[in-house]
């Protein structure tokens, strides 16, 4: 039996070195700019209305690697910058900077199994954003054609326990060239609901419920990667504190711009 095997090997010639070629990972760098203004109506507690601003810029590296049934997802926060009056601590910034998120993107561009390497609230928000980096594109859609998608996002960072359900209506809006790459342009109108609890360093555990409406534009490259996006959102929430049995109205106006870096 051994002799027969050696003869067959000699006839077949030397074995090729290595196995089948494996596609190299695909890496994209993005800049995400988030600007928001939040109005907190404390009149139910006999206090004046508070207005807070939050301007956050994040530089992200996103790497996709072929895997069975889809692609493994790796995200690294290269840098962060914050300006505003919202209570964002230096500790929170430092823990998110350099943070990593891992997950999986299936063949239908659906993101799952997201996990972060630390419990930073800011990193948790970036993790939740990853769903929007992989919009659902309808194959062969003609300009003006629409389709729907529903996504459920969980936020368990920093002691939070929030569930957001997002229903998005996409509209094919033709093509656009971005940095020399032909991309599909989509209109994206979404409505969402959020329920659950979150931790505040100032007031402790908060009960949260609310709705959000979003309008935006998304650019998707021929390989399915996000080539750019812009969103305008209006958040209408009610927050309940242990010290206030009456829910506190909280309204936020927010813009998000995502740009591909060279």
Domains of the chain: 23-260 (2.30.230)
- pLDDT of amino acid 194: 96
On whether the CB atoms of residues 164 and 194 are closer than 8 A, the answer is: yes
Of 3-12, 19-28, 143-152, which gets the smallest average pLDDT? Answer: 3-12
The per-type count for the chain, helices as H runs and strands as E runs, is: 3, 11
Q: What is the mean pLDDT of residues 39-64?
A: 94
Q: Which residue has the higher pLDDT, 23 or 108?
A: 108
- End-to-end CA distance of the chain: give it in Å, rounded: 59
CA 19 to each of CA 15, 16, 26, 51: distance values in angstroms, whole numbers, following the listed order: 10, 8, 20, 60
Hey, how many other C-beta atoms are within 10 angstroms of the C-beta on 132? Answer: 22
- pLDDT of amino acid 203: 74
Contacts of 110 (CB under 8 A, 6+ apart): 134, 136
On whether the CB atoms of residues 226 and 133 are closer than 8 A, the answer is: yes
Has residue 219 got a pLDDT over 70? yes
- pLDDT of amino acid 1: 35
- pLDDT of amino acid 160: 86
pLDDT band (50, 70, 90) for residue 20? low
- pLDDT of amino acid 22: 59
pTM for this prediction:
0.85
The dihedral sign for the CA sequence 193, 129, 90, 205: positive
- pLDDT of amino acid 2: 33
In terms of average pLDDT, the best of 30-39, 86-95, 135-144, 236-245 is 30-39
Has residue 18 got a pLDDT over 60? no
In terms of average pLDDT, the best of 5-14, 32-41, 115-124, 244-253 is 32-41
Q: What is the mean pLDDT of residues 29-47?
A: 94
- pLDDT of amino acid 21: 56
Has residue 17 got a pLDDT over 60? no
């Amino acid at each position: 039996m051994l002799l027969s095997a050696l003869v067959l090997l000699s006839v077949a010639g030397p074995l090729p070195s290595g196995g089948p070629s494996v596609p190299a990972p695909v890496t994209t760098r993005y800049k995400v700019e988030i600007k928001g203004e939040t109005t907190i109506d404390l009149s139910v507690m006999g206090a004046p209305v508070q207005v807070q601003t939050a301007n956050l810029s994040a530089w992200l590296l996103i790497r996709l690697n072929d895997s069975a049934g889809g692609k493994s997802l790796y995200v690294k926060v290269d840098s962060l910058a914050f300006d505003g009056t919202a209570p964002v601590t230096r500790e929170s910034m430092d823990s998110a900077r350099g943070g990593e998120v891992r997950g999986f993107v299936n063949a239908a561009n659906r993101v799952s199994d997201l996990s972060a390497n630390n419990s930073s609230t800011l990193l948790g928000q970036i993790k939740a954003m990853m769903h929007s980096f992989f919009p659902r594109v309808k194959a062969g859609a003609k300009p003006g054609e629409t389709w729907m998608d529903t996504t459920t996002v969980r936020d368990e960072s920093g002691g939070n326990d929030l569930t957001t359900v997002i229903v998005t209506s996409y509209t094919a809006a033709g093509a656009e060239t971005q940095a020399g790459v032909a991309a599909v342009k989509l209109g994206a109108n979404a409505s969402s609901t959020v329920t659950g609890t979150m931790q505040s360093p100032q007031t402790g555990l908060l009960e949260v419920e609310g709705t959000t409406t979003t309008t935006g534009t998304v650019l998707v490259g021929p390989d399915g990667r996000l080539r750019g996006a812009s969103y305008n959102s209006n958040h209408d929430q009610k927050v309940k504190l242990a010290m206030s049995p009456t829910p506190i109205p909280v309204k936020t106006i927010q813009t998000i711009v995502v740009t591909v870096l060279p």
